[in-house]
Amino acid sequence: MTLPIYMDNHATTALDPRVLEAMLPYLREDFGNAASRNHAFGWRAEAAVEQARAQVAALIGAQPNEIVFTSGATESDNLALKGAAEFYRSKGDHIVTLKTEHKAILDSGKRLERMRQERLEELKLLRLMELTGGEVRPEDVDALAAQYKLDQDPVLQRWASVVRTGARVTYLDVEKDGRVSLEKLAAAITDRTILVSVMLANNEIGTVQPLAEIGKLCRARGVLFHSDAVQGVGKVPFDVESMKIDLASVTAHKIYGPKGIGALYVRRKPRVRIAPIIDGGGHERGMRSGTLNVAGIVGFGKAAEIARTEMAAESARILALRERLRAKLMSELDMVILNGSLEHRLPGNLNVSFAYVEGEALMMAIKDVAVSSGSACTSASLEPSYVLRALGVEEDMAHSSIRFGLGRFNTEAQVDTVARLVVDKVKKLREMSPLYEMAREGVDLKSIAWSAH
């Protein structure tokens, strides 16, 4: 068997050879700029882009003129949140999302909150200058604010009510299986809410959210509904019409297309508007300026077409592989815990914690297999996975988690090799683990006064 084995298809996927073939002419002779309206090079590029736009639209049940090409899902998420917050700021200033969303959503939300906060700080300073009749040094603001009881100041409250910059964001907890509670979501929506953003499927635990129910709720409450659909598109059913989705982020490289190309779906009926975050030549109906990445777009279109026509058969095959892997690991090892929902889950996702074994150590032991871990040691921040923590997974179990991401090019033989390797190495590492020994001796690990470091 050829090593290493790639089983990290949530991170990215291999370029399908059919996609590469479709792209090549646009990297060679058909290099034209799709915005060149007066010669054949431009026309050919434009025709290719429009065909791809239709292919991407068809995958998600949209119309071609509802697709805005971007550099990828991170940009699409930024554009959806920041663009909607800016455009609808006279309507409201509140966004609802989940704690388990991708960082592109969470950090866009944080920036919007910071923008609003900074504006409020400026108003506080102005009010204090007015009250004291002179200059106010930044280091004196807190003391003066207390002195003048600014938190009860009606003038400042009136000023704050006209702030239109940034947004307030609610980050909802999820249930134990990673799904959002519709009741909690409904309760979080206020008359100031402009947007709800809930992902189709989670990148770590593969949990699929009840988008159709959320879409119905948002439509009834007159709130826009955005979904980061990156991980689920082409793997589980996704349809912007039946799910009543207004904005959706998708990307090519998770569906065997090239990196650096994605799209934001923006609904036309009823019309949804967003302010651009990149200004320039007014491409993509003014929503995303910048010369189109023609070869990338063509690849995205081809990948979308393959995903649409082959999804049903492919997802069934990948689910069978995933279940084969799960059955092998769980029957041959004790204390293997599945993270997230089994029922509402991407077919290719298996996220498990091997108790008493640290994730990075296991990844090192199976170095011929590319997987990923929620262990802190694999992240730059030294914090274990925030997604697993949001599910209520204990920190030690988060450190012990491994994510297997099965995809189009994985085989049954690969699954068997990986299962055998993981079982052997987990056993070996447990022999080396003081925690496993203590647990087997019946020591309650929670009763020990550990020294946090």
Partner 1 sequence: MAYSEKVVEHYENPRNVGTLDKSDPNVGTGLVGAPACGDVMRLQLRISDDGVIQDAKFKTFGCGSAIASSSLVTEWVKGKTVDEATQITNKEIAKELSLPPVKIHCSVLAEDAIKAAIEDFKKKRAERQAAASLSS
List residues binding partner 1 (CB under 8 A): 356-358, 360-361, 364, 375-377, 380, 382, 384, 394-396, 399, 431-437, 445, 448, 450-453
Half-sphere exposure (CA, 13 Å, Cβ side) for 80? 39
Going along 67-159, which residue ranges are E strands? 67-70, 94-98
To 5 degrees, how large is the angle CA 167–CA 173–CA 174?
A: 130
Kind and range of the H or E element at 213?
Answer: helix 211-221
- Rg over CA atoms, the chain: 25
- Residue 116 and residue 358: Cα distance in Å, rounded? 41
Task: Give least dist CB 371 to partner 1, A.
Answer: 15
- Residue 124 and residue 159: Cα distance in Å, rounded? 9
Q: Exactly one of 15, 278, 377, 421 is catalytic; name it.
A: 377
Task: Give least dist CB 369 to partner 1, A.
Answer: 15
Strand order in the sheet with 67-70: 67-70, 262-266, 247-251, 224-228, 193-197, 94-98, 168-172
Q: How many residues does the chain have?
A: 453
Task: Give least dist CB 99 to partner 1, A.
Answer: 19
| Cβ atoms of residues 444 and 387 within 8 Å | no
Task: Give least dist CB 436 to partner 1, A.
Answer: 8
Task: Give least dist CB 351 to partner 1, A.
Answer: 17
Residues with Cβ within 8 Å of 292's Cβ and at least 6 positions away in sequence, in order, are: 33, 34, 35, 45, 49, 69, 283, 284
- 218 in catalytic set: no
Nearer to partner 1, 8 or 360 (CB): 360
Residues carrying an active site annotation = 377
